[in-house]
Every structure is written in C-alpha cells, then in structure tokens.
Chains A and B, each alone.
Chain A
Amino acid sequence: MAERSPATRRTLWLVLSLVFAFLYIPIAVLVALSFNEGGLPTAWSGFSLKWYVSLAGNSAILSAALNTLIVALVSTAIATLLGTLLAIGVEMRRHYGKGLEALIFAPMIIPDIVLAIALLSFFSMLNLTMGLHTIILAHVVFNLAFVCSVVRARLKSFDWSIVEASTDLGASAVTTFRRVTLPVILPAVIAGALLAFTLSVDEFIIAFFTAGAGRASTTLPMQIYAMIRFGITPEINALATIVMAVSITALTLSQRLNRGVIGQ
C-alpha cells in the first residue's frame, strides 16, 4: 500500500465514522426507544421491558407472526429442495442457453411490485382463493432463485469426477447424491436456506398482493406496515428490535457457513 500522510488517514477515518453513524444511528434510536419506559423520543424515563410484555399480549401480532413462520418455513423447505436440484442440474451440464440463465436470474431482479401484480392477476384469473398457500407459492419463486445461486457458487469448484467414481463403483444415483454430492454442498444448502428464510420473513409487497381479502392471512410485515401507517407506537419499536435481531442472527449464521465454504 502506498504510504498515506497522517492527514489523509485522518480524513479516511472521519469518512468511515460519518458513514457508520449514518447507518447505525437510526437503528440504535429505535432499539433504545423500545426499552424506554415512556416510549417517546421526548425524554428517557427509565429502562423498561413493558413494550415487549404488551407485544406478547397483542393477539393480532402473534397470529401474524405465526403466519409468517408458516409461510417462511414451508416456502424455504420447497425452495431449498427445488433450488438445490436446479443448481446441480445446471452445473452438471456444461452447456446451457442464455435463456435458462435469464430465467434463473429474473426472480432476483424483477421489481417486487411487478411480480406482485402479475401473481395477483394470475391467481384471480384462475379464480383461486388466496391465502397463506398463495403467498407460499409466490415466495418459492424468488427463494428458489436465491438458493440456486448460493449452491451454484459452491458447485463451481466441485470435482464431478468423484460422482463418476461413485457410480462406477456401483452406487445408485440416490446413494451417490446422499453420500458424495450432498456432504460437499451441505453448508451452501443450509446457507441458501437461511437466506431464503430471512427473505421470506421480511417480504412485504408480494405477500400483501397475494394474501387475499380478510385478516386471516396477514403476515408480520403486513401487520408492521399497517401499524406504521397508523402512527408511531412504542410497540412497533419493540417488535422492530425483535425482528431485526432474528434476521441479523439468521444471516450472520448464513454468512459464516458460506465463508466456511469459501475457506475450504
């Protein structure tokens, strides 16, 4: 590295401090307020967990949380299975068309609002009753694309000759997958699943459009959106703190597994 003057180095650290302040102050304020007895930014009136307690008694939030958990678990399970198989299928064949590549890439970049209205039009044209099951169908679309891309990254350095060796030695396709391929890609599959789970827990717009009428299939982000539209309440701060803690934990875990993959 070229030697930098002390003045330059100070400037660079200043830039970093300002950027980190910008990134973290809004979140820190939210977390701090969730523990504020009074709940308002006007004054600190003492540490309290009462907003968390009142969350635990809010049945609308609890049922929304349960819905989110169902959607995230089921869509992650389906997407992990389909996405992993897709990744193996694509990487095993050396030649694949640009069309296939675009099809797998599209769910990750298509604007949420476009996929949301497309699915709404599609489901209502089929006269399908919408609810948690339609949200799950929709979430699998982008989740499987993300799982696939994580697993494919791992497969780039995979030595396919060991699969051939296994088949030559008489193992069936299922045994080969279970005993040879899967152990190698497992960390990437779990990392992809954790990523999919987080994306599904956080997803708002597509769920909002494919949930159908009525409150029965309200997910947590839909509930949070409704609460924010209604106004600031200290309960949102507590809920926000919990949701952030959950997704940051899941993704840190996913990142670690992935780094383990790269490290191998």
Chain B
Amino acid sequence: MAPALVWLTALMVVPCALVLALAFFRRGIYGGIQYTFTLENFGLVFDPLYAGIFLKSARIAGTATLIAVVIGYAAAYAISAAPRRLQPVLLFFAVLPFWSNYLIRTYAWIVLLNREGLITQLLRWFGYTGEPPSMLYTEGAVIAGLVYNYLPFVILACYAPLSRLNPELAEASRDLGASAITTFRRVILPLTVPGIAAGAVFVFVLSIGNFVTPALLGGGRFQMIGNLVYDQFLTANDWPFGAALAMVLIAIMLLVLMAQALAADRASGRAAQVSGGADG
C-alpha cells in the first residue's frame, strides 16, 4: 500500500497544501507570486463583488438541490412501490444516464434550449409564431442542467432507505388512524432522512463548485465560483486570489459535510424512536 499512499501524498496532499500556502501570498506586479505573507486575498473574497458571486452560487446550488431532491425522492418512492422484480431494472435505467459523459449531457440541453432548438420547434409546431423564447444562457438553464446531471444520484441515495423501510410501520400508523399525509410526514420521511441528506449534499457540493455547467449553459458572462477560480488561474493570472477562493470553496464543502453527518446522527436517533415505538 506504500506506493499508493506516496502517490496520494505527492500528487494530492502536497499540491493542496501548496494552494493553501499560495492563498497567503501576494500577487506580483506582472502576475507572478510575491512571497510575502498577507491576508488580503481572503479579504478580497468578502468584497461585495466576489461575495455576491458566492451568494449567487449558493443560491443556484441550493435551488438545484431542492428541485433534484423533490423529483429524486418522488422517483425513488415510486420505484420502491413498484413490483419487487421490476425495481432493479427501473433503478438501473434511472442511473444509466449518469454514466455518460458530463459534457455531453450538458450539451444535450444546449440542443434543447437554444433559439432554434427543439423546444422552439415544438412551440412553432403548435402554432407559435412570435420571437423564439430565450431560455439558454439564463440562470434557469444552469439550474436545469445541474438538476439533470445529478438527479440519478439523488434517486439512488433516496431509494436505499426507502427500499429497506418496513411496510408494517406504515400499516401500523394507518391502523392507528393517521392519514396518508401524516404517515408520510411522521413515519416514512424521518426514516429516510439519511438518504435525502446524502443526495442533497452530493448535489449541493458538486453544484456550488461547478465550472462546466455555468460555462456552457450560463453563457460567457455568467459566473459561479468555479468559473471565478478558473479565471484567476488561466486568464487574470492572480493565482493567490484563485487559491484563496478555492480554499473558501473547500471550507464550505467541509461545513456541508459536517452538517450532513449531524443530520444523519439525529435522524438515526429519531428513527430508533419511531421503530421502537412501533415495536412496543
């Protein structure tokens, strides 16, 4: 195992430590790096311009997460309610698109949404004659692309706890007079929170640092944190600031992961209560 650990240390730990160090240096006059300690880069992150990009990224990632979880949970629930022998097949086909290239899945949405794209053609076919609607290069297009790309994972994450659910719990709840909605809200939902949390964290973390989707579906002027980091390294040539942005991104990611661990902990406590209550 030693060679693998050396590889990971040399090509992941050391480079990441380097980026962390880089974030505390100053940008040289001609774009190089000046090795004097500074906190300026982190100060700049909170400049209204860049803080605004962080907030926008969080908003877009949050919206995509919410939509993906709602659709993904509904789909996972429907799969878990299908006949037993059909479930693996349905699950397989729900996850299959996830295995094709990310760029291509995103490109598919350009084909659908562009001004002469399929949706415009459909509208024309139904007799629409006005200006083609502008759907591509909007925040909505970016959110649609993110939901589309990450939905299969949410389905997979939510299906796991739903398929393990003891059907007697729901029956018991209904026998005791709870409505279908109450049963869902008080019994099924709490027991499946870990799946929802895992799916949500996955979508949020991958969305907030995403570079490809905003670049392709958001158009040239649309920026999220990932694009900002990209710019600092490849066009603006301000590596220290880019490094600081990347470190803030990692910090957000770690916070979200910690929140998930907490939520899963609390949910397992509550789940013990619910199933304990049903047994007794």
List A contacts of B107 (CB < 8 A): 30, 224, 228, 236, 240
List B contacts of A65 (CB < 8 A): none
Whether the pair B103, A204 counts as a contact (CB closer than 8 A) is yes
Q: Which of B147-181 contact A (CB under 8 A)?
A: 148, 151-152, 155, 167, 170-171, 174
Is B50 located at the chain interface by the 8 A CB criterion? no
Whether the pair A119, B15 counts as a contact (CB closer than 8 A) is yes
Which chain A residue has the least Cβ–Cβ distance from B121? A41
Whether the pair B111, A41 counts as a contact (CB closer than 8 A) is yes
Stretch at the interface among B5-13, B37-45, B189-197, B266-274: B5-13
List A contacts of B5 (CB < 8 A): 86, 100, 103
Whether the pair B77, A118 counts as a contact (CB closer than 8 A) is no
Give me the 9 closest cross-chain CB pairs, A-B, nearest first.
A89-B1, A118-B15, A111-B209, A26-B108, A122-B15, A86-B4, A82-B4, A244-B100, A12-B78
Whether the pair A113, B230 counts as a contact (CB closer than 8 A) is yes
Q: Closest Cβ of chain B: how far from A200's Cβ, in Å?
A: 12
Supply 4 further A-B pairs (C-beta < 8 A) apart from A41-B111, A89-B2, A232-B111.
Answer: A19-B74, A20-B93, A113-B209, A209-B233
Is A184 located at the chain interface by the 8 A CB criterion? no
Per-position contact with A for B257-280: 1 when CB-CB < 8 Å, else 0? 100000000000000000000000
Q: Closest Cβ of chain A: how far from B114's Cβ, in Å?
A: 7
Cα-based distance from A251 to B100 in the complex (angstroms): 9
List B contacts of A20 (CB < 8 A): 93-94
Main secondary structure, interface of B, reads helix
List B contacts of A131 (CB < 8 A): none
Whether the pair A30, B118 counts as a contact (CB closer than 8 A) is no
Whether the pair A22, B11 counts as a contact (CB closer than 8 A) is no
Chain B interface residue number, banded = 35 or more
Is A258 located at the chain interface by the 8 A CB criterion? no
Is B62 located at the chain interface by the 8 A CB criterion? no
Which chain B residue has the least Cβ–Cβ distance from A40? B116
Contact of A243 among B4, B78, B104, B243 (CB under 8 A): B104
Q: Closest Cβ of chain A: how far from B201's Cβ, in Å?
A: 10
Is A186 located at the chain interface by the 8 A CB criterion? no
Whether the pair B105, A26 counts as a contact (CB closer than 8 A) is yes
List B contacts of A82 (CB < 8 A): 3-4, 7
Whether the pair A144, B8 counts as a contact (CB closer than 8 A) is yes
List B contacts of A29 (CB < 8 A): 108, 111-112, 118
Is A205 located at the chain interface by the 8 A CB criterion? yes
Is A60 located at the chain interface by the 8 A CB criterion? no
Q: Closest Cβ of chain A: how far from B46's Cβ, in Å?
A: 20
Whether the pair B104, A41 counts as a contact (CB closer than 8 A) is no
Is B205 located at the chain interface by the 8 A CB criterion? yes
Whether the pair A19, B15 counts as a contact (CB closer than 8 A) is no
List A contacts of B79 (CB < 8 A): 16
List A contacts of B104 (CB < 8 A): 30, 224, 240, 243-244
Q: Closest Cβ of chain B: how far from A45's Cβ, in Å?
A: 14
Contact of A137 among B11, B22, B250, B253 (CB under 8 A): B11
8 pairs, A vs B, C-beta closer than 8 Å:
A4-B81, A19-B75, A26-B105, A82-B4, A112-B211, A117-B243, A204-B102, A228-B107
Whether the pair A141, B111 counts as a contact (CB closer than 8 A) is no
Cα-based distance from A224 to B103 in the complex (angstroms): 8
List B contacts of A106 (CB < 8 A): 8, 12
Q: Closest Cβ of chain B: how far from A221's Cβ, in Å?
A: 6
Which chain A residue has the least Cβ–Cβ distance from B8? A103
List A contacts of B121 (CB < 8 A): 41-42
Is B18 located at the chain interface by the 8 A CB criterion? yes
Is A38 located at the chain interface by the 8 A CB criterion? no
Which chain B residue has the least Cβ–Cβ distance from A12? B78
List A contacts of B93 (CB < 8 A): 20
Given contacts A118-B15, A251-B99, contact A33 B4 (CB under 8 A): no
Per-position contact with B for A13-57: 1 when CB-CB < 8 Å, else 0? 101100110111111011001000000111000000000000000
Which chain A residue has the least Cβ–Cβ distance from B250? A114
Given contacts A244-B101, A247-B101, contact A140 B108 (CB under 8 A): no
